[in-house]
A and B are shown apart, each in its own frame.
Chain A
Amino acid sequence: MYALISNEFLKLRTSRAPWLIIAIQQILVVAALSGMAIAELDFKSPTAARLLLAHAGMTSLLVMVLGILAVAGEYRDGTITDTFLATPRRSRVIGAKLVAYTAVGVLSGILTAITALIVGMAWFSAKGYTLDPTSADVWQTLLGAALWMPLYAAIGVGLGAMVRNLASAVAIALAWIAFVEGIAINLLGDLGRWLPMASGMALDNVPQGKLLPQGAGGLVLVGYAILFAVVATLATMRSDVA
């Protein structure tokens, strides 16, 4: 299993997508926080720091796309054939990918949190306020944003392995976040808090809307990640790679 995981890291290191995605993520964090600071943020508000920093967590969607690439990308490139030839026990392949991509998610989460903290502190001081990195509001929001990345990476791995077609998997993820969950929340009412995007926002400590408590949001996402991993593994073991 160790060899399989390190082989997944080798695949990640030798392709450009992970680096591109993490770089784009940092640019988006700078742009999103700056846009918020320039346009509408009320720096006097007690939730100003949370509101600003929580934007970093929204880039977890990019990490989900990276996770989707783990399996669906191999189907697109045809390399899944070689992967399963080397490791006929496909559950081990999915397991190794989950570990490796979750680890990349942790890395992306840490980087993103640091970027957000630096940009946030810069804007607060530019506007004549201070952002205290040791305050609970700040570190809880950054920690939540950082943890959102690996959980969405794992969910992405599962989604990509279930759907297998790369374009479809990405389209499903984008459609879900853009409008499907919004529709579902309208239909479900209070139950909508348990959906994947709402749970992520809860974990991200977003000071808006009817969300679960932060810890609960994180646990719900862990549940989704496990559910997706199990379904994806079963589907992968049964399917024909034709």
Chain B
Amino acid sequence: MATVSIQSLTKRFGRVLAVDGLTFEAPPGKITGFLGPNGAGKTTTLRSLVGLVRQTSGQALIDGSRYQDLAQPRRVVGAVLESGSSRPGRSGRDHLRVLAGTTGVGATRVDEVLDMVGLTGAAGRRVAEYSLGMRQRLGLAGALLADPAVLILDEPANGLDPEGIAWLRNLMRGLAAEGRTVLISSHLLSEVAQTVDRVVIIDHGQLKFTGSLAELGSGTVVVRAVQLDQLRAALGLAGYQVTAAAGALEVTGATAEEVGRVAADVRIALSALTSEGASLEAAFLRLTSSDEAPRASRFRRPSAAPAPRGNN
């Protein structure tokens, strides 16, 4: 059982503020999705957490300790921060043997994790011949070597086909069900929406939202109709906040029933009316697109727009 705790974390690279006073927790037994557009500061945050990047201020702790202070760090934290990071000429099994050498686990464990990620058959082949998906699996195998209580994965779905994503989802669900802390980053909400229990959304290095997916989607209704402009006007008159999005309207602060009633009053036929699912992506985009007006007022805006810091 180990909680990952980010406290007022700030990291400045020269003039670029990559992470700006970020605070959140990832609890044990849950899969936490760490979301934000490319350059939001996800990778920098995760790398600070494991001591690869030295933060400017604030703390990133695992079960109350800095990663560098853990006696056996890889036994506590398994991390995949770079997909396909292995010497191309080495075989998959040799890559894991090298990792096992400094992790303090034996050769039998190498075979076990190869089996867990379905690479037993390809273990003798050079990693150069692996597909991107196979490299992701190899990276996971390395992270799982010492059976860690915390699993940190940076964009684990990159390069995986739908079958691979489903496999990854099951694997992570199983690990979380065993009481482990799972923290996965992604720039695509849809990639992880079916996997995660909680989401932490950041943009420009700042926290935008933390909570469950249900909370993220609540209060937003997506509605479609042929007479979209009239419907928009009617909803606006009724006092709801409306934004147009690709042939549909998003209504915030309303229930589906209320939206339906407004439409009935002005005799507009609806072609779709949903209060969740589709609205998750919209909520995510609204939280992370800097030119949109509605933003939680309790968060400071960045004083100057920082240049995006490349992750992946």
Contacts and interface: CB of A to CB of B under 8 A. Distances in A.
Nearest to B102: A86
Given A3-B102, A86-B74, A15 B50 contact: no
Contact of A81 (B52, B68, B98): B52
Interface stretch (B86-94, B117-125, B180-188): B86-94
Contact of B102 (A7, A77, A81, A242): A7
B239 interface: no
B191 to A, nearest CB: 22
A210 interface: no
A88 B71 CA distance: 10
Do most interface residues of chain B lie in helix, strand or loop, or is the interface mixed?
A: mixed
Interface string B43-83: 11001001111100000000000011010011001010110
A40 interface: no
B165 interface: no
Given A81-B52, A240-B52, A15 B102 contact: no
B148 to A, nearest CB: 11
B220 to A, nearest CB: 35
B39 interface: no
B290 interface: no
Contacts, number: 80
B135 to A, nearest CB: 10
Given A10-B98, A86-B103, A78 B82 contact: yes
B44 A16 contact: no
A241 B53 contact: yes
Given A77-B85, A86-B74, A3 B101 contact: yes
A4 B98 CA distance: 10
B94 A85 contact: no
Interface in A210-242: 238, 240-242
Interface residues of B, number: 35
A82 B74 CA distance: 10
A85 B74 contact: yes
Contacts of B208: none
Contact of B101 (A7, A77, A242): A7
Contacts of B99: 82, 86
A127 interface: no
A168 interface: no
Nearest to A84: B52
Interface size class for chain A?
Answer: 20 to 34
Given A14-B90, A16-B89, A79-B86, A242 B52 contact: yes
A3 B99 CA distance: 12
A6 interface: yes
A88 B51 contact: yes
A130 interface: no
B205 interface: no
Interface string A54-88: 00000000000000000001000111011111111
A4 B102 CA distance: 7
Contacts of A89: 68
A79 B87 contact: yes
Interface string B232-257: 00000000000000000000000000
Contacts of B47: 240-242
11 contacts: A3-B104, A14-B94, A15-B89, A15-B90, A77-B88, A78-B85, A81-B81, A85-B52, A88-B51, A88-B73, A89-B68
Interface of B: 13, 43-44, 47, 50-54, 67-68, 70, 73-74, 77, 79, 81-82, 84-91, 94, 97-99, 101-104, 142
Interface of A: 3-4, 6-7, 10-11, 14-17, 73, 77-79, 81-89, 238, 240-242
